[in-house]
Amino acid sequence: MKHTNILRPLAVMLGLALSIPAQADTYDITVDRIRIDTGTFKKKGIGYNGSQTPTILKFQEGEDVVIRVKNNLRESTSIHWHGLILPFQQDGVPGISFNGIKPGETFTYRFPIEQAGTYWFHSHSGFQEPDGAYGAIVIAPKGGEAVPTQRDYVVQLTDKHPHSGSRIFRNLKGSADYYNRAQRTAQDLIEDAGAKGLKAALQDRKMWGAMRMMPTDIEDVQGFTPLINGESTVQNWTGIFKPGEKVRLRLINSSATTYFDVRVPGLKMTVVQADGNDVKPVVVDELRIAVAETYDVIVQPREAKAYSIIGESAGRTAMVRGTLAPSPDLVGPFYKMRPKPLLTMADMGGMMSGMDHSGMDMSGSDHSEKDMSGFDMSGMDHSGHDMSAMDMSGMDHSGMDMGGDLPVVPAKGAAGASFYAPGSGLIPTAANGGKFLGYEDLAARKPLYRDRPATREIEIRLTGNMERYIWSIDGVKYEDSDPIRLQYGERVRFKFVNETMMAHPMHLHGMWTIIDTGKGAYDPVKHTVSVAPGTTLYTETEVDAAGQWAFHCHLSYHMAGGMFRKVIVEGGPS
């Protein structure tokens, strides 16, 4: 609910335009226990304003917002304003920004809106986000959209599972392949032998067996029902258009673990914004949206018929269909899922060179109910599982440090492929054989920062043990790590080295991430960047926000497993 402050129009009437503050609006949000119905199963969950339909907050660039959040849960909660540039005390991360919102309390956020674009918000406490605590943010620019449209829709994707987030994490810790429903079978071996010979097929099985991993380990969690704006395929979210109108689709991936490949069969998509920042328009047939990313795309349906909005998981285990139609009674056609991809040795980043786990200390200090500085565990259910065994201090990574050997991206290659290791099984292709968006296609519409040399470089090694379901940075779990310290005013170059077999969407709070695609001042500026398996990726950050911030993988269960850091920015504006 929104309450508009009348101070601004009154001041204008009185001729006080030179002294008035920015318009201040007040918004109310309640955090509630709800019943989620996906059309295929029902479950208990968490929602905002009593609904499984995501709340959409609509702001104006330049206004000062006041957001009152009432916690109706029996445990603490929080809201993080994902991608918004604001004072760190308003960032909504328990243990870093503030202490959280206790049951029954109302917390008031206050911050200026200094940007425009598509963003989202979610809980940063326990597993409340995968349990349903997420919404959308749409900020209108002062001068109007760079590319005007006649229709404007949020398309917020998520992966809703019958199990609660705490249960999923407990099951993954007990067996990392608990939810892997696509494990290789004897029939697959027979087919592989027919395709490449029995000796090669057996050798391939032997290598994967030696690593105690599987080429189907693309998604941590399967068996979920994907939703668009809180509705499954059978519930069929529908956006209305008139033939010939330009329609803006604000794509947001609010999933716990799932990357989606998005397309609108029969229509080209013009990408005009990435993570809230305008980019030079690029026409594509399909794009992959990592967890926590946003893309604005424009489509122009010219025929008076129903079109489908397809969100297909990158692992090809689930798909959701929404509809664009000239009337609400029409349903877009359904499309069959494409064949499941398989990881290759390129995605392993050379991990066969040796992983010695003999020194891993699985006894450790008790950190039950410990606040993971942004991953507030006070409401997490640890029953039946001892999480005190996550001490990685004894893990031998000597055979895993391939930082100098992993391919640097972007690299020359097929469109959309330059951010994956050569020969990767994850390289996407468009369903119609057309253009698939890659980071290398993105260029800022206008430079956000001047192009200047970095002050220094910091290497961030993304590490983990899939078999034990342990995730970390530089081989150290969050509780044992030191903060990353930055100096206000410097420009830092981050070298991400992904030594794991999974993609990691890395999110730095409070500051922008500039992906090095070789475009200088026109390099794309994002709040979340996906680092593909077995690759090295460079980004840069202008350190322009004082305070302390969270920095983590946005896959919910990787963040919980330890792939998290605190960033402290020392100094500040005079």
56 and 102 both lie in a single domain = yes
**Confidence at residue 402, expressed as pLDDT on a 0 to 100 scale:** 38
Last residue of a domain, one of 342, 364, 396: 342
The tokens for 134 are: 């997420």
Distance, CA of 487 to CA of 297 (rounded, Å): 36
H or E element, residue 188: helix 186-196
Task: Return all residues near 18 (Cβ < 8 A) that are at least 6 apart.
Answer: none
Sign of CA dihedral 379, 554, 168, 461: negative
Considering the domain boundaries, does residue 337 fall inside one? yes
**Confidence at residue 183, expressed as pLDDT on a 0 to 100 scale:** 54
Task: Return all residues near 412 (Cβ < 8 A) that are at least 6 apart.
Answer: 418
**Confidence at residue 559, expressed as pLDDT on a 0 to 100 scale:** 97
Largest CA distance in the chain: 86
Considering the domain boundaries, does residue 401 fall inside one? no
Task: Return all residues near 206 (Cβ < 8 A) that are at least 6 apart.
Answer: none
Considering the domain boundaries, does residue 196 fall inside one? no
135 and 46 both lie in a single domain = yes
20 three-state secondary structure: coil
Last residue of a domain, one of 85, 120, 143: 143
124 and 11 both lie in a single domain = yes
472 and 482 both lie in a single domain = yes
49 and 90 both lie in a single domain = yes
Beta strands in 16-63 (DSSP E): 24-37, 42-48, 56-60
132 and 150 both lie in a single domain = no
Rg (CA), the chain: 23
H or E element, residue 202: helix 198-210
115 and 249 both lie in a single domain = no
- Identify the DSSP state of 441: G
Task: Return all residues near 405 (Cβ < 8 A) that are at least 6 apart.
Answer: 349, 350
Sign of CA dihedral 215, 385, 559, 536: negative
Considering the domain boundaries, does residue 385 fall inside one? no
547 and 437 both lie in a single domain = yes
Considering the domain boundaries, does residue 354 fall inside one? no
Distance, CA of 113 to CA of 266 (rounded, Å): 37
Distance, CA of 145 to CA of 340 (rounded, Å): 38
Residue 151 structural domain:
145-180+216-342
H or E element, residue 281: strand 277-284
Bridge partner residues of 530 (DSSP):
505
Distance, CA of 300 to CA of 266 (rounded, Å): 10
**Confidence at residue 346, expressed as pLDDT on a 0 to 100 scale:** 86
558 and 518 both lie in a single domain = yes
117 and 227 both lie in a single domain = no
Q: How would you classify the pairing of strands 525-526 and 491-498?
A: unpaired
In our burial notation (b when 16+ CB lie closer than 10 A, e otherwise), range 421-439 reads bbebbbbbbbbeeebbbbb
Distance, CA of 230 to CA of 155 (rounded, Å): 10
**Confidence at residue 412, expressed as pLDDT on a 0 to 100 scale:** 60
Distance, CA of 85 to CA of 108 (rounded, Å): 17
Q: How would you classify the pairing of strands 269-274 and 536-542?
A: unpaired
162 and 100 both lie in a single domain = no
pTM for this prediction: 0.85
**Confidence at residue 204, expressed as pLDDT on a 0 to 100 scale:** 59
194 three-state secondary structure: helix
Considering the domain boundaries, does residue 373 fall inside one? no
Q: What is the total count of domains within the chain? A: 3
Q: For residue 417, what is the domain's CATH number?
A: 2.60.40.420
Considering the domain boundaries, does residue 461 fall inside one? yes
Q: How would you classify the pairing of strands 277-284 and 408-409?
A: unpaired
Q: Within 13 A of 308's CA, how many CA atoms are on the CB side?
A: 19
Asked if 563 and 556 touch (Cβ cutoff 8 Å), the reply is: no
Last residue of a domain, one of 342, 358, 392: 342
Divide the 574 residues of the chain into consecutive groups of 10 and give the mean pLDDT of each group.
41 32 79 97 97 97 97 98 98 97 98 98 98 98 95 98 96 84 52 62 56 72 96 98 98 98 98 98 98 98 98 97 97 96 80 38 35 42 34 35 68 68 92 96 96 96 89 94 98 96 96 96 97 96 98 98 97 83
- For helices 198-210 and 186-196, what crossing angle results, to 10°? 130
H or E element, residue 463: strand 456-465
Considering the domain boundaries, does residue 40 fall inside one? yes
Name the one residue in this structure whose structure tokens are 């994907």: 226
156 and 89 both lie in a single domain = no
